[in-house]
């Protein structure tokens, strides 16, 4: 793997304590991750949430297969085909999919997150000689272009400031003939933003992480009961979108105990209201960008996984 300094495109060497340029450490290795950026950026909320809910979405800790089911349904990959392949994961959070890749395949994983959630990822998945963690921007990753056999970006695109530029950055990292897969929040019409998340975000994203977390944690129990009530009487699909709580029926695992359900609800509701950016995209738009930046055999659509869950995916192969 060839590393470069994103500030000047000079070659970086891997030393025991960091990435160096001409013998000088430019990017230190701290708590298992190479730190290309500082913590104070637009993803601070994600660092807060993943270091608070470090193990919540990790299959092996929650004794679930939710992340594994989603990963392999979404990618369509065969485990054996990934042996010794270099996989780039951008926006890894606490490492729910990192864990799946490392435990289910023999791939070499280069995992990037802009927030200090890399610390949670390392707690969950390190040390591992096949895991290489980087705190870096999607726009300034420390890799020479066109080196990766697979590139994935799950649950992240809509939270970046320039979604088209993000797609371009991902495609640049893939080798010719290699696959790039992304998912994102789709915009299905004007009603997409007629939702508590978009109505209240103007206020909630300005709150400190601590205040927002406290508000959610204080109110989550009655919100869960109210959500369940409306679902039970058959009007949940209409009414629950206006409740300030995550979509329990549509996004959470079905086979959780009550404690797990509460924890996931707090986490996912915080994830709804805290990001600085939340920009759902038309599937046709993301597909157009894939083709614009050199992808072929582009596929788009909904991928089902788990128990009646689905995620919007675009994937393709980089032209030779």
| Token reading at 257 | 């105990």
pLDDT exceeds 90 at position 245: yes
Residues 22-43 have a mean pLDDT of 96
Q: pLDDT, tens digit, for every residue of 294-310?
A: 999 999 999 999 877 89
> Which residue in this structure is represented by tokens 């990766």?
148
Q: Is 136:114 a contact under the CB 8 Å cutoff?
A: yes
Q: Are 145 and 290 contained in the same domain?
A: yes
Are 113 and 97 within one domain? Answer: yes
> Is a pLDDT exceeding 80 seen at residue 6?
yes
Is residue 259 very low, low, confident or very high in pLDDT (cuts 50, 70, 90)? very high
DSSP bridge pairs for 133: 33, 111
Say if residue 179 is in the same domain as residue 196.
Answer: no
Residue 255 has pLDDT above 90, yes or no: no
Average pLDDT on 4-8 reads: 97
Q: Around 68, how many Cα atoms within 13 Å sit in the side-chain half-sphere?
A: 16
Q: Which domain holds residue 290?
A: 3-186+280-318
Is 90 exceeded by the pLDDT of residue 211? yes
What pLDDT digit, counting tens, does each position of 95-105 carry? Answer: 999 999 999 99
Please identify, among 236, 258, 273, the residue that sits at the C-terminal boundary of a domain.
Answer: 273
pLDDT value at residue 316: 98
CA 113 distance to own-chain centroid: 8
Handedness of CA 47, 48, 49, 51 (dihedral sign): positive
- Are 142 and 289 within one domain? yes
DSSP assignment of 276-295 equals: S----B-HHHHHHHHHHTTE
Please state, in angstroms and rounded to a whole number, the distance separating the CA atoms of residues 29 and 221: 41
Q: Residue 146 pLDDT more than 90?
A: yes
Beta strands (DSSP E) in the chain are 3-4, 11-15, 18-21, 24-30, 33-35, 86-90, 108-113, 131-135, 148-153, 174-184, 295-305, 309-318
What pLDDT is recorded for position 306?
81
Q: What is the pLDDT of residue 189?
A: 87
What percent of the chain shows pLDDT beyond 90? 95
Same domain for 194 and 182?
no
Say whether both 209 and 265 belong to one domain.
Answer: yes
Q: 262, 168 in Cβ contact below 8 A? A: no
Mean pLDDT of the chain: 96
Structure tokens of 197?
A: 């998340």
**Euclidean distance between the first and the last CA atom of the chain, given in angstroms as a whole number:** 20
Is residue 130 predicted with pLDDT exceeding 80? Answer: yes
According to the model, what pLDDT value does residue 307 have?
Answer: 76
| Tokens describing residue 72 | 């392999």
Q: Is 11's pLDDT higher than 80?
A: yes
Q: Please check the confidence at residue 314 and state whether its pLDDT lies above 90.
A: yes
- Residue 188 confidence (pLDDT): 87
Residues 6 or more apart in contact with residue 38 via CB below 8 angstroms: none
CATH number at residue 53: 3.40.50.150
Spell out where 55-124 has E strands: 86-90, 108-113
Are residues 81 and 219 located together in one domain of the fold? no
pTM of the model: 0.95
162 and 257 co-located in one domain: no
Residues 153 and 65 in one domain: yes
Q: Tokens for 80, please give them.
A: 């054996």
Each residue's pLDDT tens digit, 264-304 = 999 999 999 999 999 999 999 999 999 999 999 999 999 99
Q: Do 98 and 82 belong to one domain?
A: yes
Q: What is the domain count for the chain?
A: 2
The reply to whether 180 and 194 lie within a common domain is: no
Does residue 177 sit in the same domain as residue 214? no
Residue with tokens 């601590």: 210
């Amino acid at each position: 793997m060839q590393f470069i300094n994103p500030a000047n495109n000079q070659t970086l060497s891997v030393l025991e304590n960091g990435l160096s340029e001409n013998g000088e450490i430019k990017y230190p290795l701290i708590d298992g991750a190479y730190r290309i950026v500082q913590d104070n950026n637009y993803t601070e909320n994600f660092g807060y949430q993943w270091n608070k809910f470090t193990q919540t979405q990790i299959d092996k800790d929650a004794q679930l297969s939710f992340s594994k089911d989603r990963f392999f349904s979404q990618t369509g990959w065969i485990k054996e085909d990934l042996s010794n392949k270099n996989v780039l994961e951008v926006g890894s959070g606490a490492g729910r999919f990192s864990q799946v890749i490392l435990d289910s395949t023999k791939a070499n994983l280069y995992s990037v997150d802009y927030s200090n959630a890399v610390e949670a990822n390392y707690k969950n998945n390190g040390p591992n000689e096949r895991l290489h963690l980087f705190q870096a921007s999607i726009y300034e990753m420390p890799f020479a272009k066109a080196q990766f056999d697979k590139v994935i970006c799950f649950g992240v695109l809509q939270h970046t400031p320039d979604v088209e530029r993000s797609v371009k950055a991902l495609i640049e990292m893939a080798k010719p003939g290699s696959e790039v897969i992304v998912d994102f929040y789709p915009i299905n019409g004007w009603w997409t933003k007629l939702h508590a998340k978009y109505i209240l975000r103007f206020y909630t994203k300005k709150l400190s992480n601590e205040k927002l977390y406290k508000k959610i944690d204080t109110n989550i129990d009655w919100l869960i009961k109210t959500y369940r009530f409306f679902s039970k009487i058959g009007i949940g699909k209409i009414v629950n979108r206006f409740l300030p709580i995550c979509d329990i029926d549509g996004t959470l695992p079905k086979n959780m105990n009550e404690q797990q359900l509460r924890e996931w609800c707090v986490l996912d509701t915080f994830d709804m209201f805290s990001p600085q950016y939340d920009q759902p995209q038309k599937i046709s738009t993301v597909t157009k960008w894939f083709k614009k930046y050199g992808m072929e055999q582009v596929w788009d659509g909904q991928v089902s996984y788990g128990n009646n869950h689905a995620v919007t995916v675009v994937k393709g192969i980089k032209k030779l």
